[in-house]
Each structure stands twice: as C-alpha cells, then as structure tokens.
Amino acid sequence: MNNIEQNLHDVRNRMTLAAQKCGRSPEEITLLAVSKTKPVDAIAKAIANGQREFGENYVQEGVEKIQHFINRDDLVWHFIGPLQSNKSRLVAENFDWCHTVDRAKIAQRLSEQRPENMSPLNILIQINISGEESKSGILLEELTELVATIDGLPNLVLRGLMAIPAPESNFERQIAIFRQMEQALIELKAQYPQVDTLSMGMTDDMEAAIACGSTLVRIGTAIFGARQYNS
C-alpha cells in the first residue's frame, strides 16, 4: 500500500497551485478520488485523510463499496464508467452522481429507477470532445436535445458536463480542447441556472483542466498508485 496520506496531500497542493495560477479559488474545485479496482482499506485510508468523494467505473464493484461504507452518510459516490442499460437500476438505487449519461434512453431509465425516498440523481452529460470513434459521449452539437430531455425528468437534476479527452501531452493543445468544454458549460449555465459542474482533468492534464474552469478533477493513480487488477 503506497502512502495515500502523502499522495492526497500532494494532489491537493497541485490543485491549489493550479487554481492560484489562473486566479481561481481552490475551494471551487472538488477532488474526486477514483477508487476503481482499489480495496476498501485504501478507501478507508483516504476517508481518514479527509477525502469524501469517490468515483467508481464498474457498477457491481461500486455498489459493494457503497454498501461497505453505508454507515458513512458524509460520503458522495460518483459513477464515472460507461453505463449499460441493464445496469442502470443499480446506479439509480445506489449512487449520488452519474457522469456518463450520453443518451436519452439511459436518462429515462435512471429517472424511472431512482427510488422516491432518495434525492434526485445528479447528472453530468458526457461529451466526446475529441471526436474519438471508440469513446462514449455525445458531440457538442447534440447537446441541446439531450439537455432538454434530462431537464424534463423528475428524478434527475442536470448538474453539468464531463469529458475525457484523448491523451495529449502538449499543454497548449490540452487547453484548446478544454476551452471548448468551458464554453459549452457557460452556454448551458445561461439557460439552466442549476448547472454548476464541469468534470474534467485527470492525473496528467489536471492543470490545463483547472485553467479552463474544471470544478471537479478525477484522480486515481496519483492518489492510490497504479491500478490493481486481481483477475
């Protein structure tokens, strides 16, 4: 087990520096710890060091972890993986956020399956900002239609946009791609005042994302170390 305490400290420092560099308040940016494939004791260690928001990519694994920490009502669980229709009920019944909505059918299912006694599910629409064939997400020009659908669903609340751009090592090019997302969020916010979240930026492009208005960075490796696959 690597030093999660030190890693969290380092990541938060990186976020603070990146925010200060572009004149933003570090408080505007949430650190989402991507805990997929990580054991519950690693998550417990992160919780002990003040981390409260966790992202899971695999429905079943995520649900098991949510159940494990069911007594902690201060934790916020984000589903950040691709969502198949047959798994939508588990997400609707267990998670607080879903980052990867990219079609009306999934949104409708999530709303129908969200239990009445739970607050509405926070929704981010995934944008395929690099236009990659293999990636999920919609193109920016398809946004208006999907937004209108989600806005009309009773058990969902549209909070903003999410993107995973194609890997890009050049800072200026990272910025150019993230700027498109920033602009899209500004336009969306003008129509839907509850929109407040731009989920973008990972371990390798966090600085560029923060410079372009990201409010939530998804960090796994820099907190928990390299992925662990048991199978």
pLDDT tens string, the chain, 231 residues long: the values are 469 999 999 999 999 999 999 999 999 999 999 999 999 999 999 999 999 999 999 999 999 999 999 999 999 999 999 999 999 999 999 999 999 999 999 999 999 999 999 999 999 999 999 888 878 899 999 999 999 999 999 999 999 999 999 999 999 999 999 999 999 999 999 999 999 999 999 999 999 999 999 999 999 999 998 765 554
Distance (Å, whole) CA 163 – CA 155: 23
Distance (Å, whole) CA 52 – CA 181: 26
- β partners of residue 157: 122
Burial 138-156 (b: 16+ CB within 10 A, else e): bebeebeebbebbbebebb
Amino acid 227: pLDDT: 62
Distance (Å, whole) CA 61 – CA 36: 8
Residue 5 CB-half CA count within 13 A: 3
- Burial class (CB within 10 angstroms; exposed 0-12, middle 13-18, buried 19+) of 30: middle
Nearest alpha-carbon partner for 33 in 15, 60, 20? 15
Nearest alpha-carbon partner for 54 in 34, 83, 39? 34
- β partners of residue 161: 125, 198
Q: Which two tokens stand for residue 60?
A: 């079943």
Amino acid 73: pLDDT: 94
| Pair 163, 203: CB distance under 8 Å | no
- Tell me: domain 4-219, CATH 3.30.930.10, correct? no
Distance (Å, whole) CA 86 – CA 3: 37
